[in-house]
Amino acid sequence: MYRLSFAEKTPLYMLLGISLSLVLVYSFIEITAFAADSCAGNCGGACGTTGSAERSHRQLLMLVSSAVICGMIFGIEFGALNVESDTYSSDQGLKILIATTVPIGFLLGAATAVIDERLTDTDSAAVSTARQSLIRNDL
């Protein structure tokens, strides 16, 4: 049976990791936008939302970048750990994979959330300033 070397399988795992990460990121964005729209419609905006989860170009670029980085890290890790071997079909192998991937995903996700929140605050402040200047110009 032919086995792929580390150099051959790592790009494949990276593509798979990037694809899955992007799907998860965009799925969660859509679910969040749907929940925000539902909340705004059902409770009259009392939930603190103003409609759909609109994203700036910088926020979307940051989210895509973090998904790509996360997918690449997981691809390299899976290629290095030789996940297709019989070792990882056992419960012990699965525990090792979980113990190594969850902290990476948590740290990258937390960093992405902090950066996203700062970009949201920056974009909100810019929109507020623009609206105030438009109001002043109209008066």
Provide the residue ranges of all domains of the chain, joining segments of one domain with +: 7-138
Tell the burial category of 74 from Cβ atoms under 10 Å away from its Cβ (0-12, 13-18, 19+): buried
**What per-residue confidence (pLDDT) applies to 91?**
73
User: Chain-centre distance of CA 29, in angstroms?
Assistant: 9
**Res 15: pLDDT:** 93
pLDDT for residue 23 is more than 80: yes
Q: What pLDDT, in 10s, does the model give residues 83-122?
A: 777 666 667 777 877 888 888 888 888 888 888 777 777 7
Q: What does the pLDDT read at residue 50?
A: 45
Enter the pTM of the model: 0.66
Return the number of other C-beta atoms located less than 10 Å from residue 120's C-beta. 15
**Most confidently modeled range among 18-22, 23-27, 98-102:** 18-22
pLDDT in tens, 51-87: 334 567 777 888 888 889 988 998 888 888 777 776 6
Do residues 71 and 20 make contact, with C-beta atoms less than 8 angstroms apart? yes
